[in-house]
């Protein structure tokens, strides 16, 4: 089956990195199901952008932190398109503060969306992928999951968690020609990054060897690379301009 016969689901695909990933996949001929939680206007902009480039796109509202909604989301995509070949777990939120000031609801909400939501969507997507003996799962983590980040204990924990989750998934389903990988972006020029104070943003940017923030398209390119890769699974591809070097 060629790529123009494949279907992808991108969670949190209405803006930022998710929008760029959805557009990148659509440009390869892949039909893209764009999930979003509440910003209908932004989701519509993504759909219009994809269609203006000749791509196929449909919108699917759902809160992926709710396991029932995640399952229903996948079921609807499979019903509408006939199959689901690619899942990109991109939906994520932040609730930043220092550990001693962090409320349990701040912890719980970030873990629910950024970690439990990835689990729920992955579990739901695996059922059709196992039947068809093909699948690509790419999850967006962060360098915060590799390094930790002051003021982001909840976010860092969730982003570290998805790395372990994808490694476990990769081992469980490799025999069915399903791969599971992670992309860990560094500082990317998105609305979320600019929620940082200018001082913190510039201080972090000064540590990037390539001397600039990444673009959402840089992350999308990495996702597309992993979607195409037949012999890469259980890996974390860091897209950070050299900020983290093992």
CB-count exposure of residue 68 (10 Å: 0-12, 13-18, 19+)? exposed
**Dihedral angle sign, alpha carbons of residues 221, 227, 228, 229:** positive
Extract the runs of DSSP E, i.e. beta strands, from 134-198. 135-140, 178-185
Q: How far is CA 50 from CA 4, 55, 89, 178, 228, in A?
A: 14, 5, 19, 26, 20
Instruction: Evaluate whether 184 touches 141 at the Cβ level (below 8 Å).
Output: yes
Catalytic-role residue among 36, 60, 155, 201: 155
**Dihedral angle sign, alpha carbons of residues 93, 96, 99, 101:** negative
Q: How far is CA 106 from CA 11, 69, 102, 185, 200, in A?
A: 21, 21, 6, 22, 21
Instruction: Evaluate whether 42 touches 14 at the Cβ level (below 8 Å).
Output: yes
36 in active site: no
184: left (phi over 0), alpha (psi -120 to 50) or beta: beta
Q: How far apart are the C-alpha atoms of 116 and 151, rounded to whole Å?
A: 21
Q: How far apart are the C-alpha atoms of 11 and 30, rounded to whole Å?
A: 15
Active site positions, annotated = 155
């Amino acid at each position: 089956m060629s790529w123009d016969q494949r279907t992808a689901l991108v969670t949190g695909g209405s803006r930022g990195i998710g929008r760029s990933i959805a557009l990148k996949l659509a440009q390869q001929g892949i039909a893209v199901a764009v999930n979003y939680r509440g910003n209908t206007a932004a989701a519509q902009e993504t759909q219009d952008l994809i269609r203006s480039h000749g791509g196929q796109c449909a919108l699917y509202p759902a809160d992926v932190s709710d396991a029932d909604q995640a399952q229903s989301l996948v079921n609807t995509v499979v019903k509408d398109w006939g199959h689901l070949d690619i899942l990109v777990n991109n939906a994520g939120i932040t609730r930043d503060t220092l550990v001693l000031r962090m409320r349990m609801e701040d912890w719980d909400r970030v873990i629910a969306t950024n970690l439990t939501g990835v689990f729920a969507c992955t579990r739901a997507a695996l059922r059709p992928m196992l039947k068809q003996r093909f699948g690509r799962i790419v999850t967006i983590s962060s360098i915060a999951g590799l390094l930790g980040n002051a003021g982001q204990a909840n976010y860092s924990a969730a982003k570290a968690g998805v790395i372990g989750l994808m490694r476990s998934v990769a081992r469980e389903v490799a025999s069915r020609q399903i791969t599971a990988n992670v992309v860990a972006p560094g500082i990317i020029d998105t609305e979320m990054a600019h929620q940082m104070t200018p001082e913190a943003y510039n201080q972090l940017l000064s540590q990037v060897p390539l001397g600039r923030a990444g673009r959402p398209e840089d992350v999308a390119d990495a996702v597309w690379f992993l979607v195409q890769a037949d012999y890469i699974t259980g890996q974390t591809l860091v897209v950070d301009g050299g900020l983290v070097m093992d």
